[in-house]
Amino acid sequence: MIRLAPLDHKLLRDLRRMWLQIVAVGTVLGCGIALFVMATGTYGSIQRSRDQYYAAERMADLAASVVRAPESVGAQLAALPGVDAVETRVSGIALVDLPGVSEPVSARVVSLPRGREARVNDIVLHTGRLPAPERDNEIVVNEAFAERNGLGPGDTLAAVLYGRRRTLEIVGVASSPEFVFAVAPGEITPEPQRFGVFWMGREGLARAYDLDGAFNDVAIRQARDAKPRELVAAVDRLLARHGGRGAYGRDRMISAQFLEDELRSLQTMASVLPPVFLAVAVFLVNVSLSRLIATERSNIGLLKSFGYSNLAVAAHYAKFSLAFAALGTVLGVAVGQVGGDYMASIYRSVYRLPDLQFDAGPLVYAGAIGVGIAAAVLGSARAVRRAIRLPPAAALAPPAPTRFGGLGERVERAARSLDAKSRMIVRRIVRFPRRSLSTVAGIAAAIALLVTSQHFPVAMNHIVDVNFGAAQRMDVTLAFADVHDASILRDVRRLPGVLAVEPMRSAPVILSAGTRSQRDSLLGIPAGARLNRVLDGEERPVPPRADGLTIARVLARKLDVQVGDRVRVQATDGRRRSLEIPVVAIVDPFVGAPAYLELDTLNRLLQEPERVTAAYLLVDARAREAFSREVKRLPAIAGVTYADNAENTLRRLFNEGSGFFAALFVVFSSMMAAGVAFSAARVTLAEQERDLATLRVLGFRRREASYVLLGEIGALLLAAIPLGIVLGYLLTRWLMSQFATELFSFPHVLSPAAYGQSVAFVAVAVVVAALFVRRGVDRLDMVGVLKSRD
Amino acid sequence: MSLPAAAARGSVRVFHLAGVEKVYGSGEAAVHALRGLDFDVMAGELLVLLGPSGSGKSTLLNILGGLDRPTAGRALFRDLDLGAADDAAITDYRRHHVGFVFQFYNLIASLTAEENVELVTEVADDPMPAAEALGLVGLGQRRGHFPSQLSGGEQQRVAIARAIAKRPTVLLCDEPTGALDVATGVRVLESLVDVNTRLGTTTLLITHNADIARIGDRVVRFADGRIRSIESNARRVAPRELHW
Ligand SMILES: Nc1ncnc2c1ncn2[C@@H]1O[C@H](COP(=O)(O)OP(=O)(O)OP(=O)(O)O)[C@@H](O)[C@H]1O
Ligand SMILES: [Mg+2]
């Protein structure tokens, strides 16, 4: 048995007495730390496992498609300086008929090399086997598609390849770094149920596409010392005469880009919000502890009067604070680890990254623990320093209220007309401004965090609402397999139920100005477009113009151009026209639309009249079945997307992806708010305990004593609400501006509901905590309080 | 102090105690603070309670003030059974009839001297103005000061002003001079005696100081939870005549 020093006995007693308070403060700190560990750890883990996956399966750095190139070009590409490996492939789009699915399903079909692993963009076989190289009816399908449609080895499906219908047998299920997300052409979201990836033996697929001894798609891995720009130029030069459409890097590979966008929004959330949370947690711990220790001031005076040194007193309270910190950090790290594992299991299936393991890394843990301890120790240090600076006599006397200038005086004068109990409340607040302000700030911070964390789902829903409500008002989007002449629109108009058709063209181009250039899609949108409109940040439509380009601000910044500047447009497709077009408008598009102009003008400038790559339709809902049946028969169709499906997918994707993250913030900020509420109420009771007992002794009723307690908490809550709203607004705006630097702009939607809910939640938490704490008034030790000094 | 005045007051019973016991804790650890008290307190009396430390004086005062309840026996204030009445009745009793003065003053730090007094006058039936109560204890000039700006004796006098301002039926003082020097202690006692004579407030005063006992009408001596003796003073000595 260890003999404890008397001070340590006091420590243990105090800790046992304050266990609820320790839990409250520990929860707040724990939430901050858990979130920090989880968020930074999850982002880091996903990024790491993506990079490992890309490295292990040799994800392409560059890709290009051509009309038809002889196999020998592959060797020429491999010989280019800076090229590490080349895989030439045959690739195409197939329309798929799944039994029992009326809506059109399509798939990208990609060849696998014979008798070896792919040198670039290899696949990981999960079940079954690889297709026989010469067979043109055996396929391996991607995991997401197989799962969503309940398919596996042994199943068969019907597909139209290059205009010919055939029955394909699934022999295996696989995944690939190239298709972490499989996104249909012309789409912005993956819909694994309606779009799949099929891998087939090279010979078989080449035969199906009439590409024997040739390829139409190439994936390249560059050497470490490669100069990307020069390499792209060299590849383009080699492929140009075979109908090359321009090589592009990972930033234009749809899956990689999608994953990158997701990671980037996770990163922003992980790097911006958790530190804010942690900072708020630190602040709250700081406040709680310094108030708690302030209630110990007479004990500190007493200890000093006994001859304890300042150091001994400080050490005593440092230990006291460390108990709070210890609970918070242990809780935070444990919850962060468990939560991180859970997040990893969720994201393993959402992002389909094999071997995604949560591992925050020692630095994150060390940082979290350090921050937790520092928070507690610094929080107590301030209060202890104040207390030990006082001569013991002053510490033993009741705390002297601060007299402070104009406002306080005026408030006090106003309070003169109140009854003594209300005056007590006003006095306590005005005369101890530091204490009151810290409570107000704590509650306001909790409100602000809740407002901000609720903003993510609000903003995301708003994006989806506006996108599908005001911008994309079509029922169906048809993507054509190739650039088509407008005659196809006649066939489309004849499909059952079609009420309106609006064409669109997307041309792959290189935009450049001065020394800067950017590969992007130039959109041709018809004048008076109604179904697909570009909206600006204020959600106003910005129609396409015939006299020049309208470009997104992000792109304008990349090219360093202003309105009036001319941009060189090099088409990488078709006639490969090179033009100069003036910029006539710069917009903040609501959802990505990099550059566009009026459709006929675009076609005229490219000297390719009447071309379309997609069409937007209004379709009579009652004719949907018939429409689905018929549209599959159009050979030129590469993809059919129903807007309602796309909308659902987008929402689901958000809910599973960054939305899950965002939901976590809401949960944690709610817990923090509850912790703050409780700790504020409890410490107020601790500060008032003696006064309240005295009131009871003097014959005040419980109700009256409770009024003094609840009145103070209530008044501080009322003061905190507007401050919390303002703080929440500012914090949200700041956070959204952090997001705005990323590719997509996050709108700052003012959501009264989010504010209302946040305020209501925190208010209810404070009231519940106060009522809970109020029971202390019933148990006040009236006799005890008379026996002891303050 | 004139004897006739004391005699005229002594006819109405304010407190009646019969077999009052108080036991803290139970079993081995039980502490018998009071072991059966029987005596009455008459209206207008100034009763001094004397006794060694731990003999049960504060325990008794707390029971009489409605802050604690006896474990056995009956303690009546007029007709109110202090052991059996519900909490609301006891609170009302404290509110309307009892004035407390404690060794540690127990002032509210955030209120000025005057406001501390007003705290009580506000809820009393027939209070004197706070300024008047402070004047009675000689603190009329200091009423805007906070407790932290007052000396111990001054704080104690504020506490007395607070206790007398509502014109209580009984004034219960637990070692009001315990923390004070002689001169200040005399001032405080003078305030109490003054209230007792001028307002006729029944006053119970605990002290360790046998000398102080001479200011009372009767002296109750405690020992080990029992009353050892009750003596009447032939003459009440004015506080300024005391020396200790
Ligand atoms: N809450 C309590 N729990 C246990 N014992 C108690 C409690 N309060 C008082 N006692 C005990 O009851 C007895 C009487 O206490 P009381 O405070 O009445 O003494 P006192 O006569 O006022 O002494 P002093 O002159 O020192 O103030 C003492 O032995 C004390 O230890
Ligand atoms: Mg005592």
pTM above 0.90, yes or no: no
Distance B21 CA to ligand 1 centre (A): 13
A109 and A214 in a common domain: yes
Residue nearest to atom 16 of ligand 1 (CA): B56
d(CA B57, CA B69): 14
A451 and A380 in a common domain: no
Among A348, A376, A399, residue at a domain's last position: A399
d(CA A26, CA A36): 15
What digits encode the pLDDT tens for the residues A648-657?
887 887 777 7
A62 and A50 in a common domain: no
- Spatial CB neighbours of B29, under 8 Å, sequence gap ≥ 6: none
Indicate the DSSP class of residue A621: G
Pocket of ligand 1 (CB under 6 A): B 24-25, 31, 33, 51, 53-59
Residue A481 lies in a domain: no
Domain coverage including residue A684: 409-473+643-790
- By most ligand atoms within 8 Å of CB, the mutation choice from B23, B24, B224 for ligand 1 is B24
Burial letters for A686-711: b for 16+ Cβ neighbours within 10 Å, e otherwise?
Answer: bbbbbbbbbbbbbbbbbebbbbbbbb
Residues of chain A contacting residue B148, judged by C-beta atoms under 8 Å apart:
397-401
Does the pLDDT value for residue A750 go beyond 90?
Answer: no
- B125 near A CB under 8 A: no
A40 and A29 in a common domain: yes
Residue A479 lies in a domain: no
Put simply, the answer to whether A782 touches B67 (Cβ < 8 Å) is yes
pLDDT at position B2 is: 41
A250 and A390 in a common domain: no
Among A257, A278, A312, residue at a domain's last position: A257
pLDDT at position A262 is: 78
CB B35 within 8 Å of CB B226: yes
CB neighbourhood size of B232 (10 A): 10
A319 and A354 in a common domain: yes
3-state secondary structure (DSSP) of residue A114? coil
**Dihedral of CA A626/A631/A633/A638: which sign?**
negative
Residue A635 lies in a domain: no
Nearest CA in chain B to A426: B110
A323 and A234 in a common domain: no
Residue A728 lies in a domain: yes
A110 and A183 in a common domain: yes
A650 and A789 in a common domain: yes
| Cα B139 from chain centre | 20
Going by DSSP bridges, is the β-strand pair B72-77/B80-81 parallel, antiparallel, or unpaired?
Answer: antiparallel
Written in H, E and C, the secondary structure of chain B is CCHHHHHHHCCCEEEEEEEEEEEECCHHHCEEEEEEEEEEEECCCEEEEECCCCCCHHHHHHHHCCCCCCCEEEEEECCEECCCCCHHHHHHHHHHHEEEECCCCCCCCCCCHHHHHHHHHCCCCCCCCHHHHHHHCCCHHHCCCCHHHCCHHHHHHHHHHHHHCCCCCEEEEECCCCCCCHHHHHHHHHHHHHHHHHHCCEEEEECCCCCHHHHCCEEEEEECCEEEEEEECCCCCCHHHCCC
Residue A108 lies in a domain: yes
Residue A482 lies in a domain: no
Domains of chain A: total? 4
Does the pLDDT value for residue A187 go beyond 80?
Answer: no
Indicate the DSSP class of residue A523: E
What are the tokens at A392? 């013991």
What pairs with residue B13 in β-bridges?
A: B42
Among A237, A257, A277, residue at a domain's last position: A257
A664 and A686 in a common domain: yes
Mean of per-residue pLDDT scores for chain B: 86
Mean pLDDT, rounded, for A340-360: 81
Q: How confident is the model at residue A60 (pLDDT cuts 50, 70, 90)?
A: very high
What are the tokens at A570? 């090099």
A651 and A532 in a common domain: no
Please report, for residues A683, B22, B48, B227, the alpha-carbon distance to residue B220 in angstroms, rounded to integers and kept in the order given: 43, 18, 6, 7
Mean of per-residue pLDDT scores for chain A: 84
Ligand closest to Cα of A782 equals 1
Mean pLDDT, rounded, for A716-721: 92
Least confident of A279-288, A572-581, B169-178: A279-288
pLDDT at position B7 is: 44
Written in H, E and C, the secondary structure of A335-377 is HHHHHHHHHHHHHHHHCCCCCCCCCCCHHHHHHHHHHHHHHHH
Distance B184 CA to ligand 2 centre (A): 20
Residues of chain B contacting residue A426, judged by C-beta atoms under 8 Å apart:
none
pLDDT at position A690 is: 81
Instruction: Please name each of the domains of chain B with its CATH number.
Output: 2-7+43-62+97-241 (3.40.50.300)
Q: Which of A149, A152, A190, A159 is nearest to A174 (CA)?
A: A152
Residue nearest to atom 5 of ligand 1 (CA): B24
- Name the H helices within A698-751: 702-740
- A787 near B CB under 8 A: yes
The C-alpha torsion from B50 through B52 and B54 to B58, rounded to 10°, is: 20
Residue corresponding to tokens 């102009």:
A597
| Cα A504 from chain centre | 31
Give me the interface pTM, i.e. the ipTM. 0.79
Residue A667 lies in a domain: yes
pLDDT at position A406 is: 63
A382 and A273 in a common domain: yes
Q: Which of A93, A87, A106 is nearest to A208 (CA)?
A: A93
Residue A579 lies in a domain: yes
What digits encode the pLDDT tens for the residues A210-269?
899 999 999 999 999 888 889 999 999 999 889 888 888 998 888 888 888 778 777 877
Mean pLDDT, rounded, for A65-82: 93
Please report, for residues A184, A214, A709, B118, the alpha-carbon distance to residue A689 in angstroms, rounded to integers and kept in the order given: 67, 87, 9, 20
- A398 near B CB under 8 A: yes
Mean pLDDT, rounded, for B68-90: 92
